């Protein structure tokens, strides 16, 4: 939209041009600040918002750990505080062969606060070779950490962690 001639005299100086540029810069700065604030608000509330989502099932996750590949499956699909979580740990070697001679120990804790550490063994299951099982319980909703130590005779130890979101 062009300005009426009466407001735009032909002898216009540089001042209004500079002022228009300054207005544009201010507007850009305002948009940038608003965007940053909005992002911070979303980040601030994202954890509580995630807790409100009805279904967010845990998907089996595979990690390469040393010469091994570790696949962690958890049930039930909807992990909830106070409900036992069954963990199934499938181990294969560099040749993708399952192995049954490992001693698997775990530590289960909430990294964001001191709630103690539950430790124990994951025992080999008879159903599936190379699969080890255990059970944990999260006392409260939030991000939990499962640390797995894999020890095999005459081989270097391996350890890895999994971050697990438990609903409250
Ligand atoms: Cu906690």
| pTM: predicted TM-score of the whole model, two decimal places | 0.67
CA 19 to ligand 1 centroid distance, Å: 54
Measured in Å, residue 50 CA sits from the centre of ligand 1 at: 16
| Exposure string for 110-146, b = 16+ CB within 10 A, e = fewer | beeeeeeeeeeebebeeeeebbbbbebebeebbebeb
Question: Maximum CA pair distance of the chain?
Answer: 92
CATH number for the domain formed by residue range(s) 61-166: 2.60.40.10
The secondary structure of residue 60, as a DSSP letter, is: P
Give the Å distance between the CA of 57 and the centre of ligand 1: 20
Distance in angstroms (rounded) separating the CA atoms of residues 70 and 67:
10
Report how far ligand 1's centroid is from the alpha carbon of 166 (Å).
11
Q: In angstroms, what is the span from residue 124 Cα to ligand 1's centroid? A: 29
Residue positions counted in the chain: 168
Question: What local confidence, expressed as pLDDT, does residue 8 receive?
Answer: 53
Digitized pLDDT (tens) for each residue of the chain, 168 residues in all: 555 555 555 555 555 666 888 888 888 888 888 888 787 776 676 655 555 554 567 889 999 999 999 999 999 989 999 999 999 999 999 999 999 999 999 999 999 999 999 999 999 999 899 999 999 999 999 999 999 999 999 999 999 999 999 999
What's the pLDDT at 123? 96
Q: Ligand 1 centroid vs 138 CA: distance in angstroms?
A: 8
Distance 98 CA to ligand 1 centre (A): 35
């Amino acid at each position: 939209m062009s300005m009426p001639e009466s407001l735009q005299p032909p002898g216009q100086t540089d001042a209004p041009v500079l002022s228009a540029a300054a207005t544009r810069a201010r507007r850009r700065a305002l948009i940038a600040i608003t965007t940053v604030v909005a992002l911070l608000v979303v980040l601030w509330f994202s954890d509580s918002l995630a807790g409100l989502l009805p279904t967010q099932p845990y998907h089996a996750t595979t990690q390469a750990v040393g010469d091994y590949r570790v696949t962690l499956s958890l049930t039930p699909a909807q992990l909830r505080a106070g409900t036992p979580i069954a963990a199934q740990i499938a181990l294969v070697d560099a040749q993708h062969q399952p192995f049954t001679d490992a001693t698997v120990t775990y530590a289960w804790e909430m990294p964001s606060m001191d709630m103690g550490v539950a430790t124990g063994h994951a025992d080999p299951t008879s159903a599936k070779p190379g699969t080890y099982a255990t059970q944990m319980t999260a006392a409260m909703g939030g991000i939990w950490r499962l640390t797995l130590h894999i020890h095999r005779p005459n081989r270097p130890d391996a350890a890895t962690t999994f971050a697990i979101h438990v609903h409250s």
